[in-house]
Amino acid sequence: MKTITFRLAYALVLAAAVALAAGCGAVREERTPDGRVVLEWYNYATPEFLTLYREELIPAFERSHPHIKIRLNASLGDTGYDSKLLTLIAGGIAPDVIHVTQANFPLYAAKGLLVDVRTLAKDDVAFDEDDYFKPVLDSMRRGDRLYGLPSDFSTILLFYNKRIFDEAGLPYPDASWTWDTFLQASRKLTVDQDGDRVPDQFAFVTQNAYNRWPAWVWMNGGELFNRDETVCLMDSPSAIQGFSFFVELATKWNVAPAVGQSTGQSPEELFMAEKIAMCANSRYAYKSFAKGMSFPWDVAPMPKGTQRATTLIWGANCILTSTKHPKECWEFLKFLSGREGALGNVRMGNAIPAYKPVALTPGMLKTDVSPANDDEFLRAVSHARTAAFPPQFADYTQALSELDDAFLGVQTPEGVCRRFARRVNVILKEAP
Amino acid sequence: MKRQASGMARKEAVAGWLFISPWIAGFLIFAAGPIIASLALSFSYWDAITPPQFAGMANYRRLFSDPLLRRSLFNTVYYAVFAVPLGMCTALGLALLLNQKLRGMGIFRTLFYLPAVTSGVATYLLWMWLFNPQLGLINRFLRHFTSNPPLWLSSPDWAMPALIIMSLWGTGGAMLIFLAGLQNIPEQLYEAATIDGANNWKQFLHVTLPMLSPTIFFNLVMAVIGSFQVFSAAFVMTNGGPSNATLLYVLYLFQNAFMYFRLGYASAMAWLLFVIVLILTLFQFRTSKRWVHYG
């Protein structure tokens, strides 16, 4: 429902942006009257974050960098965010620094709009790449170029409802769980009380999203691409098997809601309403949980296939190549991702800072909702990554949407994997 | 004398231009420029970020080799073929009912027109709940007859029928125009028909329909154009899915422009749509001579 409310705002935002960009001779303020450099920071955030940015981080940055002024250009939600930014760029009033996530970063990286920050970091003694969690930083690399700095992230773990496990008399998920343990337990945890063949309680739920399903391919020893990302490997037996296991949780075993069995609630809502025993989710879910949980719960590593793997979701900031002030932008990026930004993120309970010195300080991350195994999120970093996204952005996005046929059960997962690999291998040969 | 008349005519002409000037200004500023620009852009590659590059006919050639474009065109025709006749018949049927002389008719007319003025997106959200396979009102009702009701918006086979059914929600506009048309039919025609012994059905067939034919024609042209431009329902409710079943033409155009940043290709799509709608409209005008009677 949330994304839809954002879509409502979309039309307005776009219309406003077009009107703004179309205004004859639209110009951006580059310097304040007293000679300070003006940087425009484009992002989207919930009201709490806007407060954090506006009242804490930006004033603190301007105090420590008196020659820079930050102008915050905030968008209402994530739908329409990219269209609005595109319109700003097309209208010649592009911002300097933009906020991205694992979802829209591939677009800007593919379009060559982002500054390779290694050129700025090279001579900077105050910056050390090793201060950042490697898998998160690596998610922002293309070749050996680095297109920004991550600020916050989360690994994906298995959340479980202890009460439902107790009632079923099953042991809680832990590091010993394999896919087999997971499936056996899931079949016991799926309950159809009224006998209408649609379970009233599912064992498991997750999104069929690109930030979730690749983990199941990796867990099975498969890969989406070869090392230099020139060949799609989704038609290899290990990839097909891993993808099929994930899909068939819903379409074959029905321990997860199949398409059409969903009630329209998000995984967080289902978990909070005790309609599901487990969900694969990120630490960002804590935000929804802060209102109070009425049952005991905890987190565990994802069940192990032939190996351990999971996905990452993250937020980051990037510098647009059109900026006239790359050095000042770099200072701001370091501030947002470094100690000050990290502490701000911790205060807001926003997942985990990508900046290790803060994130690894003992007790630093503990929140009011943190369960006993909260540390699993950090432990999972060692085997977490972001699935690669080829520079042929549009074609690859369309190819991904055709995976729906597997989730809908109108084609076998194997057939879908093979078609996907064929299609992507054609795409990879085309110019981006 | 003659001189004075031409002065009058000139005055009237000036007044006419003045009255229409807000529209002309709006058209020139907000529509004409983009229309011309889109024609030029349709012959170029443009991602809105780097300057446009000349592409010759490449975008138009792509139109003929893009399987998703064919799919979106098929979906749109599918939608139009069912939604237009269904909407027209419903609107006409409602208008006939609302043209009866009954106490409190004003209330009924308001009630049936109300959906047409409610906000689009809000009603789409409402319909998403109605169509929810598990909790929706529609399937709760259908479960009395079958244990396996359609999954509606979640099913590649039923998503489009769901959108077509939902399109009836907006028939109020056409209904109102039909109602106005019905009230313009002179009462004496029906009196004469009654005297000649025509029953209600005959009267409808030989008086109402011919007299209403200009109104039907207008509604038909508008409905066909409208059905080719449907966008927001699919954008909000399904985003083209599942499995591209509701990927309507304008939605795919929008995706190309604002998700994939192929503005040149999107412009070519827009001009193809223009040509298709133009041909359909000209065809309707051509054939209208056979069945439209201007009293």
Domain harbouring A223, CATH code: 3.40.190.10
Which of A75-84, A267-276, A280-289, A410-419 has the weakest average pLDDT? A75-84
* CB-based contact A260 B128, cutoff 8 Å: no
Gap between the Cα atoms of B244 and A14, Å rounded: 25
What residue in A sits closest to B29 (Cα-Cα)? Answer: A22
> If DSSP codes are grouped into helix, strand and coil, which group holds residue A177?
coil
Q: Does B48 touch chain A (CB under 8 A)?
A: yes
Look at residue A12 and tell me whether its pLDDT is greater than 90. no
Q: Quick one: CA torsion of A181, A182, A184, A190, rounded to 10 degrees?
A: 160
- Indicate if A277 and A335 belong to the same structural domain: no
Q: Which residue of B has its CA nearest to A8?
A: B121
| CA–CA gap between residue A386 and residue A405 (Å, rounded) | 23
Contacts of B267 in chain A (CB under 8 A): none
Answer with the one of A346, A369, A385 that is the final residue of a domain.
A385
Q: Average pLDDT of A352-360?
A: 94
End-to-end CA distance of chain A: 34
CB interface of B with A, residues 142-161, below 8 Å: 147, 151, 154-156
Mean pLDDT by 10 residues, chain B (295 residues): 69 92 91 91 86 89 91 95 95 92 88 84 89 88 86 89 91 92 91 90 91 93 93 88 89 90 92 96 92 81
Residues A18 and A134 in one domain: yes
8 Å CB contact of B241 and A404: yes
For A219-244, the pLDDT digits (tens) are 999 999 999 899 999 999 999 999 99
Q: How many CA atoms lie within 13 A of B71 on its CB side?
A: 16
Q: Which chain A residue is nearest to residue B156, measuring alpha carbons?
A: A408
- Are A98 and A13 within one domain? yes
Domain co-membership, A82 together with A190: no
A196 to chain B, any CB pair closer than 8 A? The answer is yes
Could you say which of A87, A264, A408 has the minimum Cβ distance to residue B156? A408
Residues A324 and A359 in one domain: yes
Picking from A88, A404, A419 by the largest number of B CB atoms within 10 A of its own CB, the best residue to mutate is A404
Contact B260 A264 (CB under 8 A): no
Task: Please give the interface size between A and B, counted as residue pairs whose CB atoms are below 8 Å apart.
Answer: 75
What SS3 state is found at A342? Answer: helix
Same domain, A291 and A150: no
DSSP result, A225-262: B-TTS-SB-TTSHHHHHHHHHHHHHHHTS-SSPPTTS-
> Given this model, what pLDDT does residue A195 score?
73
Q: For residue B69, which amino acid is it?
A: L
Q: How many CB atoms lie within 10 A of CB A193?
A: 8
Inside any domain, residue A307: no
Chain A residues within 8 A of B258 when measuring between CB atoms: 14, 82-83, 86
pTM confidence score? 0.83
Statement to judge: residues A196 and A234 lie in one domain: no
Chain-centroid distance, C-alpha B162: 17
A113/B contact by beta carbon, under 8 A? yes
Min Cα separation A387/chain B (Å): 20
Nearest chain A Cα distance for residue B159, angstroms: 11
Kindly determine whether residue A404 and residue B243, on different chains, have CB atoms separated by under 8 Å. yes
Q: Would you call A4 an interface residue with chain B, using a CB distance cutoff of 8 Å?
A: yes
Chain A residues in contact with B154 by the CB 8 A cut-off are 259-260, 262, 408
- Complex ipTM: 0.75
* Winning range, highest mean pLDDT, from A53-57, A83-87, A422-426: A422-426
Predicted pLDDT at A26? 59
CB of B41 within 8 Å of any CB in chain A?
A: no
Residue type for position A95: P
Residues A412 and A274 in one domain: no
- Choose between B49 and A301: higher pLDDT: A301
pLDDT at A197: 73
B134 and A86 within 8 Å at the Cβ level: the answer is no
Q: Which among A1, A14, A260 is the nearest to B133, CB-wise?
A: A260
- Which chain A residues touch B138 with a CB distance below 8 Å? none
Nearest chain A residue to B143 by CA distance is A196
The answer to whether residues A151 and A96 belong to one domain is yes
- CATH class belonging to B61-291: mainly alpha
Q: For residue A410, what is the DSSP state?
A: S
Query: Would residue A170 count as lying in a domain?
Result: yes
Q: Which residue of A has its CA nearest to B154?
A: A260
Residues of B in contact with A90 (CB under 8 A): 48-49
**Cβ pair A198:B135 closer than 8 A:** no
- Find the mean pLDDT for residues A275-304: 92
As a whole number, mean pLDDT of residues A162-168 equals 95
Instruction: Label residue A224 exposed, middle or buried (CB < 10 Å: 0-12, 13-18, 19+).
Output: buried
Q: Are residues A412 and A348 in the same domain?
A: no
pLDDT value at A2 more than 70: no
* Chain A: closest CA distance from residue B125 (Å): 8
Q: Which of A3, A251, A259, A389 to mutate to test the interface with B (most CBs of B within 10 A)?
A: A259
Sort out which chain B residues have CB atoms less than 8 A from A198's CB and list them: 134
Residues A181-198: tens digit of each pLDDT: 999 999 999 998 877 777
> What residue in B sits closest to A83 (Cα-Cα)?
B258
> Cβ A408–B133 below 8 Å, yes or no?
no
Say how many domains are in chain A.
3
Give the strand pairing for A145-146 and A384-385. Answer: unpaired
Greater confidence (A33 vs A386) lies with A386
**Do residues A329 and A409 both lie within one domain?**
no
Residue A17 has pLDDT above 90, yes or no: no
Q: Which of A111, A198, A260 sits opposite B47 (nearest CB)?
A: A111
SS3 label, residue A74: strand
Pairwise CB contact (< 8 Å): A398 & B68: yes
Rounded distance, CA A394 to CA B266, Å?
13
Residues A327 and A378 in one domain: yes
B49 and A89 within 8 Å at the Cβ level: the answer is yes
Query: Has residue A367 got a pLDDT over 70?
Result: yes
In tens, the pLDDT along B71-116 reads 999 999 999 999 999 999 999 999 999 998 888 888 989 988 988 8
Residue A4: list chain B partners with CB under 8 A. Answer: 125, 236
Tokens encoding A171: 């042991």
- Chain B residue numbers touching A86 (CB-CB < 8 A): 48-49, 258, 261
Q: What is the mean pLDDT of chain A?
A: 88
CA distance A4 to chain B (A): 7
Structure tokens at B107: 């209330």
Segments forming the whole domain that contains residue A219: 206-253+390-432
Nearest chain A residue to B152, by CA: A260
Task: Check if A21 contacts B (Cβ < 8 Å).
Answer: no
Q: Do B259 and A259 touch (CB under 8 A)?
A: no
Both tokens of B291, joined, read 């069945």
Please, which residues have CB within 8 angstroms of residue B226's CB and are 6 or more apart in sequence?
Answer: none
Question: Which residues, numbered 47 to 86 in chain A, qualify as contacts with chain B under a Cβ-Cβ cut-off of 8 Å?
Answer: 82-83, 86
Name residue A308's amino acid.
R
Residues of B in contact with A402 (CB under 8 A): 243-244
In a domain, A306, yes or no: no
Which residue ranges make up each domain of chain B?
A: 2-41, 61-291
Residues contacting residue A395 through CB under 8 Å, at least 6 positions apart: A427, A430
